Structure 1
Amino acid sequence: MVRLTAVPAAARRGLRPAGLLLLAAAGAWAWIVGRWRAMGAMPGTMGLDLVAFLPVWTVMTVAMMLPATAPVGALYGRTLRAHRTARTITFTVGYLLVWALAGLPAYALAAVTGRAAGAQASTATAVAAAVFAVNGVYQLTPVKDRCLARCRSPIGLMLRYTAHPGPARDLRAGAHHGAFCLGCCWSLMALLAVFGMMSLWAMVALAAILTTEKLAPAGPWVAKGVGIASIALAVAVVWVPELAPALVGSRMRAS
């Protein structure tokens, strides 16, 4: 008979906060699937004003970002002995506040692409190519490498904030990590403006890429491969407009 080795107590304590974050991500995905079934993938801001768009954007970031961030949040919660779950949650709140604020430029980009979708076909194609190209180039820059490295190895962040007193320490640590995560992932998230902000397949694909970049051993190479592929898409979309369904593909379906 094979005997199962007991999970060490320290590991069990670390699983609980991470499990809570993964549960939140699962709930966000369930909400997204329900909304997607109700309204599908719409171009631009999905007909939402800024006040309505920001909560939707925040739920999207919970679904897409927390699976890769849960290990970091749990690790941060273990840096001190007391109140580990509460510290992990506060860290995550700070992290998500950064991404919620990123909804402001995301809304502006969605509004621009929404207008492009209603303009001439050449304009829509040019905007789609520009978004693909920006992401492709950024994925290959040293800034992307630096931000990704901080996301993959957050030990320095943990040590820095463990020494800081005060109730805002955990919130600041989460916001700090969120800033590096935003610097790592903003151009990938911008692709949603091309594929559709509520495009379920695009969100799943991008979430898989983000998680692989941050957690897999080959993550930095995946980031560069995605950059090269995105540059190729910037060229290919000129001949295959359906590659940008939120801008050009929607127009073609309507015609």
Structure 2
Amino acid sequence: MRLDRQALLPPLRPANLLSVRELAVAWSLMAVLALSAWVLVVGQARGMGIEAGTMGMGIPLFLLLWLVMMIAMMFPSVAPVAITWARAISRQSTGAARAARLAQFVGGYLLAWTAFGILTYGILAVTGRVVADHPGAGRWIGAGAFLLAGVQQLGPLKDICLRHCRSPMGQLARYAGFPRRARDLRVGAHHGLYCVGCCWGLMIVLIPLGVMNILAMAALAVVIFMEKLWRRGPLFSNVVGVAFLVLAVLALFQGWLLPGLGPPASPTMDMPTRS
């Protein structure tokens, strides 16, 4: 095991790390992927409203859109971890082999968010039916979502997962102990699960705010980025948690805070009337 870790974690000498050019390419690639995902999401949102439920999407289409959303929202903050892993494997792999290993890492990361997307789809489906049958229940669902998000932001699980996401170097030695077969896929999934544990509360607030609410998505992406990369990220996370608790109270009286829990648009509203 010692030899395996030494092979995975080369001494911190310039010759063993990615070159400046390779680092620039890696950062640029992550930025291009995130920006492209934002363009796709914004384009899709322009043709969709903000309402309760799954907005008529089947689970395959929803998961495809969900993954694009996760790339847009999460890749800016996960880029340092992906590039740190690229540094770790740069001694063992070159060229196409390194690209394939990084693709496995990203695939594993997105696999974790796909699993959470399936759960989210189920919640949205139930929420849509409840709001359609009982419109007044929307404010309670919204308040509950904000309350749950606030509690999660201030809870111990958030702290544990956030510390993992903020200090990926400490995990490389542990990842070195993973079996070589599908190691990169497992590393990506492992980090993705920590990321889900860190950010699931933030994603839950998309239920009252609207899954296709671009402004809400952008605001949450900024929160995620600040939490993980700003030196005062943990304190900022607590401030956001308190803000969610305040919104949980206000949501009971201020319906405008819950655009994602509005009733579905009536198909008869756009039909022309006979004169």
TM-score by length of structure 2 reads: 0.83
Q: Is the 8 A contact 1:41 1:198 kept in 2?
A: yes
Q: Is the 8 A contact 2:51 2:260 kept in 1?
A: yes
Three-state SS of the structure 2 residue aligned to 1:46 is coil
| 1:39 maps to which of 48, 51, 71 | 48
Structure 1 residue 250, shift from structure 2 partner: 7.0
Q: Mapping of 1:30-179 within 5 angstroms?
A: 30-80=39-89, 81=91, 82-83=93-94, 84-179=98-193
Distance 2:258 2:238 in 1: 21
Partner of 1:198: 212
Distance 1:183 1:10 in 2: 33
Distance 2:174 2:25 in 1: 24
Q: Is the 8 A contact 2:45 2:214 kept in 1?
A: yes
Deviations 1:43-97 (A, max 9, x none): 3112112122111111111111111001110110101222344333221111011
Distance 2:263 2:27 in 1: 39
Q: Is the 8 A contact 2:132 2:263 kept in 1?
A: no
Distance 1:211 1:205 in 2: 10
Structure 1 residue 166, shift from structure 2 partner: 2.0
Three-state SS of the structure 1 residue aligned to 2:212 is coil
Unaligned runs of 5+ in 2: 1-16, 270-275
Q: Is the 8 A contact 1:46 1:197 kept in 2?
A: no
Q: Is the 8 A contact 1:17 1:88 kept in 2?
A: no
Q: Is the 8 A contact 1:151 1:181 kept in 2?
A: yes
Distance 1:9 1:22 in 2: 18
Distance 1:233 1:250 in 2: 23
| 1:241 maps to which of 237, 255, 268 | 255
Distance 2:44 2:223 in 1: 23
Distance 1:19 1:168 in 2: 26
Give yes or no for the alignment of 1:212 onto 2:226. yes
Give yes or no for the alignment of 1:17 onto 2:23. no
Counterpart AA for 2:145: V
Three-state SS of the structure 1 residue aligned to 2:133 is coil
Per mean C-alpha deviation after superposition, the further-off stretch among 184-193 and 151-160 is 151-160
Per mean C-alpha deviation after superposition, the further-off stretch among 149-158 and 16-25 is 16-25
Q: How many residues align?
A: 245
Deviations 1:201-241 (A, max 9, x none): 11101111111111111111111111100010010011101
Distance 1:210 1:220 in 2: 11
Q: Is the 8 A contact 1:94 1:172 kept in 2?
A: yes
Unaligned runs of 5+ in 1: 1-7
Counterpart AA for 2:240: V
Three-state SS of the structure 2 residue aligned to 1:79 is helix
Three-state SS of the structure 2 residue aligned to 1:118 is helix
Distance 1:129 1:59 in 2: 27
Counterpart AA for 1:43: A
